[in-house]
Amino acid sequence: MTSTSVYLDNAASTPLDPAVLEAMLPWFIDCPANPSGRHEAGQAAGIAIEQAREQVSTMLGCQADTVTFTASATESCNLAIKGLLRPRLRRGERVHIVSSAIEHLAVLDPLRRLEREGAEVDLAPPTPGGWIDPSEVERRLQDDTAMVSIMWVNNELGTINDIAAIGEMCRDRGILFFCDGSQAAGKLPIDLDSLPIDAFCVCAHKMNGPKGTAALVVQGRAAGRPLEPLIEGGGQEQGLRSGTLDVPGLVGFGAAAHRVSECLGDDLPRIMQLRDTLQAGIVAAHPLAVANGDPSRRVPHILNMTIPTAGPEPLMEQIQGVTCSGGAACPSAKGEPSHVLAAIGLRSEAAATTARLSLGRTTTADDILAAIAAFKRVGH
């Protein structure tokens, strides 16, 4: 990224908050101990880990002992899905899973793996507005449905699913409900103690924390089920996730969670105003531009727009001076088209002229004005 480029790819990753960096720095050099060590330095590192766990659980509104630290939301999704369902497959039980066609690949790929191992997966389609109608989930439920996995906020469209309704539906039927909350943390208030969610994942780098730190919350009915670990070897995290804990990263995770609790009330209205200004500016420059995703069900941080242009190149090749993406970062890294845009009915030609512009805590009014100026130059 050049020094003059406006950063509007916060849905992929956010800049590290300076307060988070400050909290992390001593643990890189001054306090290098392994938190599993029984000496004084190791105990100090262990205390710092538990403080971070408390900070994360406070942000999420859950009990600290339900939080298991992992290295990524992808790992957390894999641990929840494979860890909770493989024991049933190994016992020879029939396992049926309901999810959606617009989940992140961190959910869809583990589901495909379990399909190859004998599970049956049923994907609910989204509405044209890019959210999952709870009735589409309900009509797919079977007597042997073991899990429903629906994300809270879609990472490409910013659309919000009614997870409370879906969770209640699952609870009434004794079905485990896993929710990918990667894009919800830092964008919505969260109170897991009051929600019928059995497993929930979150990561730090989507909310101005460090990359490489994440968590899986296991509560409700999932807390009493066998959870098969993906990684074994040291017994850390109550045997659910072995490996030396990243003390600086987890301290940063905790500090980022604390900052969310401090800043969310101010962030939301400010970012919504910036998002609306950006959308209006793009439409003024490109009257045929269309925002994807139901506007009444979107977080303010993500603006997904199809912008027909006169140029022959894909839209992303025409945008100069704005760092953004055509969709989720993971499929983009593979050069694959967006399965989310395809699921809401966008043809490949429209997907090629679609950009995801995602704002965050560090986005300023000047950034938005510069981005609008850049889009005025596109296709002309």
Q: Which residues are catalytic?
A: 330
Contact 123, 340 (CB under 8 A): no
- d(C-alpha 244, C-alpha 97), whole Å: 33
Amino acid, single-letter form, for residue 351? A
* Main-chain phi, psi angles of 258, to 5 degrees: -65, -40
Distance of CA 53 to the CA centre of its chain: 19
Long-range contacts of range 166-172, CB-CB < 8 Å, 24 or more positions apart? 166/132, 166/134, 166/137, 167/195, 167/196, 167/197, 168/196, 169/134, 169/137, 169/138, 169/141, 170/196, 170/198, 171/196, 171/220, 171/221
Distance of CA 25 to the CA centre of its chain: 26
- d(C-alpha 131, C-alpha 127), whole Å: 6
The conformational region for residue 235 under phi > 0 = left, psi -120 to 50 = alpha, else beta, is: left
What is the chain's length? 380
Give me the residue label for tokens 């999810």.
Answer: 99
- d(C-alpha 123, C-alpha 159), whole Å: 17
Amino acid, single-letter form, for residue 247? V
Contact 26, 373 (CB under 8 A): no
- d(C-alpha 132, C-alpha 125), whole Å: 7
**Nearest in space to 355 (alpha carbons), one of 367, 371, 366:** 371
